[in-house]
Structure 1
Amino acid sequence: MSETGTESRSGEDVFAFTQVGQALAGLVGDVQRQRDEFNRKFQEQEERMTKMDRKSVSGRPVLAGGVKAEDVHTRAFDAYIRSGDEDALRGLEMDVKSMSTVVNGDGGFLIDPVTSETIQGVLSSSASIRAIASVVNVEASSYDVLVDQGDAGAGWADEIGARSETGTPTIDRISIKLHELSAMPKASQRLLDDTAFDIETWLAGRIADTFSRAEAGAFITGDGNDKPRGILNHGAVDNDVWTWGNLGYIPTGVDGDIGNGDALIELVYALGAEYRANATFVMNSKTAGALRKLKDGDGRHLWSDGFASGEPARLLGYPVLVAEDMPDIGTGADAIAFGDFRAGYTIAERPDLRVLRDPFSAKPHVLFYATKRVGGDVSDFAAIKLLRFATA
């Protein structure tokens, strides 16, 4: 082959290789563009999923292996308390199962279950009638207690003898209205912004403290106007002439003094045997201090402390609840109550606790307006007796 032919063939080869190179470069470029487009779309999808995850904090059931509904509510409540972000909590309203319990139509949001349980635990363990009374949860604005004051009667008869008609029992209806109890703790926004600050524990403690003090007083002396009606707000008559609707009292025989303590024994046996098995003494610290000094004829103290941790002190073998809202010993004072308070006093409440965040009224602080609805009243006037520090 001539030199000219060789050069022509070489040029064609170079041209072919150039075309192949350009094709390969174009293919690589297409692959790179497709990869970039895939990465871009994947990143956008990931961002959308992250946003959806933040907004999906709700009380709705989640897939197996996911976050528990209680944890979801807790996270949503934390976001609301710290920054006022309502989106997550309002998202719970979309769940049909949660619409009636999460968002309050009057304003405010349901406190998360963990915080709510903490508050209820403190209330139940506090020095209050609540610790020994009957507590019921209701969804209505009041709760009716039906009390059978008498006995339908019974009788013995032989196989063919005539049966006499038994009496009709007397049924009394006691209506316990629910009232709104509120607390308004406050904190600085700087403190709320501190992620190391346990906001739920702090809020639960402040609310529980306010609620427990208000309840304790109302269950003893409340007048029933916008608050529960306390045991001492009812009329008290000498137990010898006791009638339904009043509490019976036993006088100590000495004005403003316990005397030799025999009145305590009379108080115990003034209560019916069906109530004594579950009875408790209720008094304040000053009265408890005075009774600790009492001794029997053999010089033994009538008061005994519990041997086990957490066991209440005992007086004449019965547990003692120290409630500071009971009156001090004084002339004519009903300073000691004794009875089966589980039967004798009923507390009705709605199970939900709600809180409304207010960052405007007390700048630079944030107010938390917490509310619950609770009522209480004597439900069996035969189940509670009083000790009156008087001659008669």
Structure 2
Amino acid sequence: MKNYSEMLPHITGSDYETHFWDALRGKQGYKEQVSKGVDNRSGALTLNPKGQSRYMAALEKEGLFRSLATDIRAYNYNYNIKTANGNDVAAWVEEGGTIPIADGMGDFNDIALKIHKLVVFLKLEEAFVKDATFKIEDYLVSRLAKNFGRAEDNGFINGTGENMPTGILAASGGAEVGVTTNAITYEDVVKLFFSVKPEYRRNGVWLMNDETALALRTLKDDGGNYIWNHANDTILGKKVCISEFMPSAGTGAKPIAFGDFSYYWIVDRRPLSIRTLTEQYALEDCIGYLAYEFLDGKLVRPEAIKVMEMTA
């Protein structure tokens, strides 16, 4: 298949869904029935749309960024997405007056979307998989969502853009630095908050790891007031999100991010696809699975998220 649109009619029906999961159980004789669902990039079987919807719902629960960012599906082509690089145009216009469309014509920049491959491998006992009472779809969807969710969050935070997404902490293409400091103080956190424009503060959230959160829970101003609201776990009225993939405070590290994470775009380039490995693990009485995601991630407006950078 050249692209997903050509593949879609062949993987939508209930027959393909049944044969897909039978193939993942290691059953033979379904090669022809599922051949139209083979992804040309991975050589694996493409998950049907119903299964993909279940998987994406599970992935959003497991992965932090999937619940914060903007998720875009772009399955078919290697194209650039144009995004506004500034403010949209809103103006009062008198009856018969000129509408200032030209003011926003140049307010776009191209964002090149790549196709990065993320792979998860797991294996299960063959007897377990072939047990008719074992709900293989529920199990694999849940387990793959957990594994992919963790790997995605790491990439969306720390990715370099080389063979992986561009993370928010990337030196190039990542979030802007709002505050530099050699030790996190009450004033530094407040400065970081106000370094973000009001339009991005409106839906802003904080992102940090457990160690940083613990330090901020005890941080006070000169009057003895905590910066952390212990009643609802917010800082300056904004939700705190925890990720183990955020760094701790240290020279050159960026331990705290704040802003509107909806300006981080996750672009899914292919649905989930899974390859069954039977012969390789026959001596172990196991069946292996290679699952593939193809995606990219970029912060389309770097000023929407600001980070604190440590200088010493």
Relative to the length of structure 2, the TM-score reads 0.82
Does residue 270 of structure 2 align to residue 382 of structure 1?
Answer: no
The whole-number CA distance in structure 1 between the counterparts of 2:142 and 2:306 is 34
Does residue 277 of structure 2 align to residue 342 of structure 1?
Answer: no
> What's the offset of the Cα at 1:356?
1.3
Q: How does 1:9-20 map to 2 (within 5 A)?
A: none
Moved more, 120-129 or 220-229: 120-129
The whole-number CA distance in structure 2 between the counterparts of 1:104 and 1:268 is 45
The whole-number CA distance in structure 2 between the counterparts of 1:305 and 1:114 is 41
Q: How does 1:31-180 map to 2 (within 5 A)?
A: 69=14, 72-87=15-30, 90-91=32-33, 99=36, 102-105=37-40, 107-113=43-49, 115-142=51-78, 144-150=80-86, 169-180=106-117
SS at match of 1:232: coil
CA change 1:79–1:158 in 2 (3 A) is closer
Q: State the one-letter code of the partner of 2:250.
A: G
Relative to the length of structure 1, the TM-score reads 0.66
Which one of the candidate residues 161, 175, 190 is aligned to 1:265?
Answer: 190
Q: State the one-letter code of the partner of 2:292.
A: T
| Cα offsets for 1:249-306 (capped at 9, x unmatched) | 23354x2x212x1111111111111111111111111111111112345544322357
Query: Which of the two has greater strand per residue?
Result: 2
Match of 2:150 in 1: 213
SS at match of 2:302: coil
Match of 2:7 in 1: none
The whole-number CA distance in structure 2 between the counterparts of 1:77 and 1:341 is 36
Contact between 1:148 and 1:172, CA under 8 Å: does it hold in 2? yes
> What's the offset of the Cα at 1:196?
2.7
> What's the offset of the Cα at 1:138?
0.6
Which one of the candidate residues 356, 369, 376 is aligned to 2:275?
Answer: 356
Over alpha carbons, which structure has the higher Rg?
Answer: 1
Which one of the candidate residues 211, 217, 226 is aligned to 1:292?
Answer: 217
Contact between 1:287 and 1:329, CA under 8 Å: does it hold in 2? yes
| Cα offsets for 1:129-186 (capped at 9, x unmatched) | 2321111001235453323334688999999xxxx99766442211121212111111
SS at match of 2:25: helix
Contact between 2:119 and 2:292, CA under 8 Å: does it hold in 1? yes
SS at match of 2:161: coil
Which one of the candidate residues 196, 202, 205 is aligned to 1:277?
Answer: 202
> What's the offset of the Cα at 1:207?
1.6
SS at match of 2:33: helix
The whole-number CA distance in structure 1 between the counterparts of 2:211 and 2:139 is 31
CA change 1:336–1:352 in 2 (3 A) is same
CA change 1:152–1:347 in 2 (3 A) is closer
| Cα offsets for 1:186-215 (capped at 9, x unmatched) | 112122232232222222233222211211
Q: State the one-letter code of the partner of 2:197.
A: G
The whole-number CA distance in structure 2 between the counterparts of 1:82 and 1:385 is 47
> What's the offset of the Cα at 1:74?
4.2
Contact between 2:154 and 2:245, CA under 8 Å: does it hold in 1? yes
Consecutive unaligned residues of structure 2, counting only runs of 5 or more, are: 1-9
Match of 1:239 in 2: none
- For the aligned residue pairs, the C-alpha RMSD in angstroms reads 3.3
| Cα offsets for 1:365-384 (capped at 9, x unmatched) | 21111112111112111211
Q: State the one-letter code of the partner of 1:258.
A: I
Q: State the one-letter code of the partner of 2:33.
A: G
The whole-number CA distance in structure 1 between the counterparts of 2:49 and 2:86 is 42
Q: State the one-letter code of the partner of 1:172.
A: N
Q: State the one-letter code of the partner of 1:340.
A: D
Q: State the one-letter code of the partner of 1:84.
A: K
> What's the offset of the Cα at 1:331?
2.6
The whole-number CA distance in structure 2 between the counterparts of 1:316 and 1:154 is 30
| Cα offsets for 1:214-233 (capped at 9, x unmatched) | 11111111112221111111
The whole-number CA distance in structure 1 between the counterparts of 2:269 and 2:207 is 26
CA change 1:222–1:75 in 2 (3 A) is same
Percent identity over paired residues: 28
> What's the offset of the Cα at 1:117?
3.5
Contact between 1:250 and 1:263, CA under 8 Å: does it hold in 2? no
Match of 1:316 in 2: 236
SS at match of 2:200: helix
The whole-number CA distance in structure 2 between the counterparts of 1:331 and 1:387 is 12
Match of 1:248 in 2: 176
The whole-number CA distance in structure 2 between the counterparts of 1:114 and 1:246 is 34
CA change 1:302–1:382 in 2 (3 A) is same
Question: Which structure ranks higher in relative contact order (CA pairs < 8 Å, sequence separation ≥ 6)?
Answer: 2
